Amino acid sequence: MANIDLIFATNNANKVKEIKAVTGNHLNILSLKEAGIEIDIPEPHDTLEANASEKSRVIHAITKKNCFSEDTGLEVFALNGEPGVKSARYAGDTRDFQANIDLLLHRLSNKVNKTAQFRTVISLIWNNQEYLFEGICKGQINADQKGSEGFGYDPIFIPDGSSKRFAEMTMDEKNKFSHRKKAMQQLMSFLNTKW
């Protein structure tokens, strides 16, 4: 698989780092920046699936090349799945990680159940056809914020099977549990059957 070029339709540098750590030399992942594309792709839909599709389709329409995107949401059980698809802009259009965390903890403060999951949906466009893959990481929200690694909600999320928050883990440790890695592994297995 080593010589496959695949554009990753994202402007999130943290996502690019995490995905490149998973794919290693198996795929040649190009970020939008590396592909020379400057665009703020809209995410207007109310599902992760529809937003992921939008992102990969927009980039495919521009480049006509194989590409993928992913949309990820933190789904909190006691908040009926919120912030979910609104994860990036939960506390407003400034997309401020700390403001999003503060709002989430405020809304969760009187709830007993702190169960949550990260869900990643990948949309791959391969030879002009779209394929979707999903990765889920279940865990707990912990109001005691710790760690400075990762991004987004990582300082308050402890994956099942660990006592550490994602933000307390190295990228390799996070990738042992990560929703994003699970979805990406499915994409790689799929490409293995095609190549």
Question: CB burial class (10 A; 0-12, 13-18, 19+) of residue 103?
Answer: middle
- Judged by CB under 6 A, the stretch of 5-13, 102-110, 121-129, 141-149 that binds ligand ITT is 5-13
What's the CA gap between 31 and 175, in Å, rounded? Answer: 19
Q: How many CB atoms lie within 10 A of CB 125?
A: 24
Min dist CB 99 to ligand ITT, Å, is 10
Q: Does residue number 43 form part of the binding site for ligand ITT (CB under 6 A)?
A: yes
- DSSP alpha helices (H): ranges in 30-95? 48-63
Judged by CB under 6 A, does residue 119 bind ligand ITT?
no
Q: How far is the CB of 169 from ligand ITT (least distance, A)?
A: 11
Cβ pair 73, 49 in contact under 8 A: no
Q: Is 10 in the site for ligand ITT (CB under 6 A)?
A: yes
Q: Which of 114, 151, 162, 164 binds ligand ITT (CB under 6 A)?
A: 151
> In the range 17-36, which residues lie near ligand ITT by CB under 6 A?
none
Give the CB-nearest residue to ligand ITT: 152
Instruction: Extract the runs of DSSP E, i.e. beta strands, from 142-184.
Output: 157-159
The distance from CA 64 to its chain's CA centroid, rounded to whole angstroms, is 23
CA distances to 5, 66, 79, 125, 126 from 153, rounded to whole Å, are: 30, 30, 15, 28, 31
Task: State which residue, 143 or 194, has the beta carbon closest to ligand ITT.
Answer: 143
Choose which of 84, 139, 152, 159 interacts with ligand ITT (CB under 6 A).
152
**Whether residue 71 lies in the annotated active site:** yes
Q: Is 165 near ligand ITT (CB under 6 A)?
A: no
Catalytic residues: 71
Question: Which spans of this chain sit near ligand ITT (rule: CB under 6 A)?
Answer: 10-12, 15, 43, 71-72, 87-88, 97, 100, 118, 150-154, 166, 180
